Amino acid sequence: MRCRTSRLRGSPGRKACRSTQTKTTLVESIKCSIVFTTRPELRGTFGMVASTHWLASQAGMSVLERGGNAFDAAVTTGFVLQVVEPHLNGPGGEMPAVFWAEKRGKPLVLCGQGVAPAAATIERFRELGHELIPGTGVLAACVPGAFGGWLLLLREFGTWRLEDVLELAIGYAENGYPLHERIRTTIERTEDLLVGWPGSRELYLPAPPAGRLFQNPALAQTYRRIVEESRGGSREEEIERARLAFYEGFVAEEIDRFCAAEGGLLTGDDLASWEATIESPATFDYRDLTVCKTRPWAAGAVGLQQLALLQGYDLAELSQAEFVHVVTECAKLAFADRDALYGDAEVRLDILLSEEYSNERRALVGEDASEEYRPGFGRLPQIREATTTIGAGEPSRGTVHLDIADRFGNVFSATPSGGWLQSSPVIPALGWPLGTRAQMFWLEEGLPSSLRPGARPRTTLCPGLALRDGKPYLAWGTPGGDQQEQWALHVFLRHVDLGLDLQAAIDAPEFHTDHLISSFYPRGFVPKSLALESRFSSRAVADLQARGHDVTLWPPWSLGRVTAVAREPDGLLKAAANPRGMQGYAVGR
């Protein structure tokens, strides 16, 4: 067996004895295998909307067609997603976003992430007999942040009135929308849990047929009442009155009453004391782009850390198996830092993204799959034995996502999540459940992500924005729990490093590792795991197994739900959406 030159440590000259065959680079193998993409990469100059549901994408596009900007379209799209994907997000959840507002001339982050209740302390949960925060029920509720986030976006950057952006969501809730098969499957899978929650039982059982129109009149009435109570005065005054109706008015009162009756900790005072905020992003310069992400109260920075490690490799020269191996090993290092260091606290991104630190960490990447899980500093939480429960965790690698670009130069990306129908009881008077995001806190003292009142949970949500020459170029992201900052990163790498267009980058065979501490109850860890779509070549699979990866083959189109939009300097707009699940869609012209 002869040796070939490898670059698995990001530097030339290191020898590896893996194969006697001539290496085919990943770029060459992709060019040989892609005869067509599942959909075209959309191109135009007027506007682009890509989201995880076709109805939401078209709703957003209709706003652009009627003169609205990207932010009006985003709010409309977001509210429609709350209605048509209730197993993946809802009014009880949260929504982080990263975006470029042309009138501000800089990238910004919107934090629509609610905080832990004032009564949510480690001591209280221990008194209740918990070593981990449950993944279901009202005990895991934080302040619902999505509504406040969308309203802040509309007030500061939109042009439409609240009634107009809610019109389509109210219509779908009131008149019905075609129920997707995955919603029915979710209801059937969690029926034993839902039947014990009166509001959920009344709304969702028996499981409605897939494809039939499904209505949620209580949700429609909640939206409609907010519109009626806020009507009158300027656009901004209406939006503020709507915020007060939710966080200090009838919605907060109903949440307070329901949680008290169900043994929850969330109160009306918790809602009244919270507001969404605008902040600066975390950034990293990769190749000729500046990548912008949320700060470490969410997961965006773990993507930046992976880019800092991958900066030292010529990814286009790697084989298919080498690419998967290198990216996976770098992910293990970055996620170890996430699990030890991230949270709603001061996180030293200046160190974590520095060249010196990245070089030290990159040197740990070898030819074989590592079984280590080692942060650069700090300490990892203690993993506890717990049994998976019905409804716990992020559903079907769920959440939703949307990306929008308009003709005015605005570019937007958001990953709303939480408030899943199967994880918490529906509040009958409102038509939706609270979220369970508090399960991402640790009931262990001394960690950045330890539970404390008023703190944001360290989520997995990570919308993305990339700038080229200081102007917005790309917005992208995906649902997927701990896989989000893997699947989205892989699409980014295939586009930027391998030169694939957006749709080809999304369509390419996907992979991920669970060699990380799960962010969801029961907080498991699967060392050396590697999930591959079965479209990977048998040669690549054998190579990865020989390196020690514990490979599991998934169905050929099963991993990832990435969407993306892009803007070229001449005003050309592009968009693409994931075909997996036959649900996501991009529209534009």
**Poorest-pLDDT segment among 255-269, 374-388, 497-511:** 374-388
What is the total residue count of the chain? Answer: 589
As a whole number, mean pLDDT of residues 521-547 equals: 97
The answer to whether 583 and 401 have CB atoms below 8 angstroms apart is no
Nearest residue to 508 via CA among 498, 519, 521 = 498
The pLDDT of residue 64: 98
CA distance 187 to 165: 29
pLDDT per position as a tens digit, 278-336: 999 999 999 999 999 999 999 999 999 999 999 999 999 999 999 999 999 999 999 99
Q: What is the pLDDT of residue 22?
A: 61
Q: What is the pTM of this model?
A: 0.95
Break the chain into its structural domains and give their ranges.
1-589
- Res 369 pLDDT > 90: yes
pLDDT tier for residue 14 given thresholds of 50, 70 and 90? very low
Contact between 579 and 507 under an 8 Å Cβ cutoff? The reply is yes
What pLDDT sits at residue 3?
Answer: 29
**H and E: helices and strands count for the chain:** 20, 23
Contacts 24+ apart (CB under 8 A), 186-193: 186/87, 186/395, 186/396, 186/421, 186/422, 187/87, 187/421, 187/422, 189/390, 189/422, 190/390, 190/391, 190/422, 192/390, 193/136, 193/390, 193/391, 193/422
Identify the band that residue 39 occupies on the pLDDT scale cut at 50, 70 and 90: very high
Q: How far apart are CA 429 and CA 263, in angstroms?
A: 18
Q: Tell me: the pLDDT tens digits for 125-165?
A: 999 999 999 999 999 999 999 999 999 999 999 999 999 99
